[in-house]
Amino acid sequence: MEKIVFVTHNKGKIESAKRILKDVDLEIFEYDLDEPRSDDIAYISKTKVLKGFNLVKKPCISLDCGFWIDELNGFPKAFVNFALETIGIEGILKLMEGISNRACRFTECLSYYDGEYLHQFMGSHEGTLAKNLRGNDSNQKWSDLWYIFIPAGYTKTLAEMSEEERKNRKKIASTDAFLEFANWYNIEKNASILQRKR
């Protein structure tokens, strides 16, 4: 199967892709794709992967993420960058002052397009919101939300965890879009190899 290009400028997503998609012949094309204004991450991911394919003319993947806070009716949803650029992490924490229900989740959609077929893979990571910023910077960080997101089953934010802890943590109430894609892709690759041998 052909090399797959991941078109993104997000260093954290690149690190995750390299780690999880180690069995995929992956090429990184660092480019900041424009995003449509929408709260539908599947639509945003689809739009970005089609733009990516038009740019590199090879099979592509694109990953888009959202962040949902139950008590804020889902805010900021797919508008994470806008929320962080305007009110910032401190603003999000201020909106949650005095609120005991701190349930939240990252959602993600990975889109794969080979020039003919589009496949999409959804992921979700449940957790709770810390009451203040906690942790250290990391090249694996996708977003500043890592400083306030505590994965389900843990008491530390993602930013407080060591690289080893993040790598080996049990993903409770969690589905990873990269893994969903990797499993599908390996099945497709093996089927393609078998077909060529016949």
What positions carry a catalytic annotation?
Answer: 64
- Distance of CA 55 to CAs 64, 87, 149, 168, 187, Å? 18, 33, 34, 35, 27
DSSP symbol at 101: -
> Over the range 163-198, which residues count as b (16 or more CB within 10 Å of their CB) and which as e?
eeebeeeeeeebebbbbbbbeebeeeeeeeeeeeee
Range list of β-strands (E), 55-144: 60-69, 76-77, 103-113, 118-129
